[in-house]
Structure 1
Amino acid sequence: MTEPQALIAYALLVLLTIVWQATGALGQFGITYLMSARDEGRVATGVSGRVERAMGNSITAMVLFAPAVLLIVALDASTPASRLAAIAFLIARIVYLPAYAFGIKGLRSLAWTVGFVATVSLYLVAL
């Protein structure tokens, strides 16, 4: 798997997370609230709330991961280490989502750390 392929796969995971979050919100708040202006703020709870927070974290991770991959491509700096880092990031984020959603704290933190370190590694390769 190349770095851009990992980025595409991660983008699909983020899209899936958005669908999961929206489905949970629909079940918790109902269609009437979701179609309203939402002036009355509501906070999702349980799995739905954790998926919402995981979605926000996933978007933040994308903001950091995507430029690193694009730099690797633009600089033609792909190496076995950068491909490994991109794959490690993707696997970590795949693990992170259900770990967060279902409240598996230690695994969630480990997955987040692996993904973060993998992202930093991509920037170091791009140097």
Structure 2
Amino acid sequence: MTIAELCIFACVMLYLLTIVPAKWISVDGAGRYDNARPRDPAFYDGGIRERALGAHQNGIEAFPFFAAAVLLAEFRGAPQNLVNELSVLFVIVRAAYVLTYIGDRPSLRSILWTIGFLMTVAIFFLPLLRNYLPA
């Protein structure tokens, strides 16, 4: 198993773990999480819970393209060291993205999202450039 493939797993864990703290936090005496109503919109209404849900949902949205890009790059013979490095950087950027989303830093969050997206695009097109890149 490659480092890049482990990064796919890390991305899944990141977006799953993003929502867990929001379910445990009682904000200003607001209601506790009710497992019988896991998608109750009122529970996530406003504040840190709403931002955690947004970060979680964005992680779900970003995951398919990242996973497909990594697998395509590996199947098409892109330089594995570059795929690995970009994948690790992507996970780091996504973790920082989650922190800025929950921490209510929208400008920095948008910058990090763009960087992560461009890394995924780079991974996706690595096979196209493999003849011009070091092995």
Q: TM-score range by the shorter chain?
A: 0.7 to 0.9
Normalising by the residue count of structure 1, what TM-score does the alignment of the two structures yield? 0.81
Q: Greater helix share, 1 or 2?
A: 1
Counterpart of 2:78 in structure 1 is: 77
Percent identical = 30
- 5+ residue gaps, structure 2, are 129-135
- 2:6 alignment partner in structure 1: 5
Does residue 99 of structure 2 align to residue 98 of structure 1?
yes
The structure with more radius of gyration:
2
TM-score, normalising length: structure 2:
0.77
For this pair of structures, how many residues does the alignment match?
125
* 5+ residue gaps, structure 1: none
Question: How far did residue 28 of structure 1 move?
Answer: 4.0
CA distance in 1, matches of 2:84, 2:9: 14
Aligned partners of 1:88 and 1:114 also within 8 Å: no
Counterparts of 1:15-94 in structure 2 under 5 Å?
15-24=16-25, 28-32=30-34, 34-36=35-37, 41-42=41-42, 43-94=44-95
Using the TM superposition, give the Cα deviation of residue 103 of structure 1 relative to its aligned residue in structure 2, in angstroms: 0.7
Deviation at 1:41, TM superposition (A): 4.4
In structure 2, C-alpha distance between the alignment counterparts of 1:61 and 1:37, rounded to whole Å? 22
Partner letter of residue 9 of structure 1? A
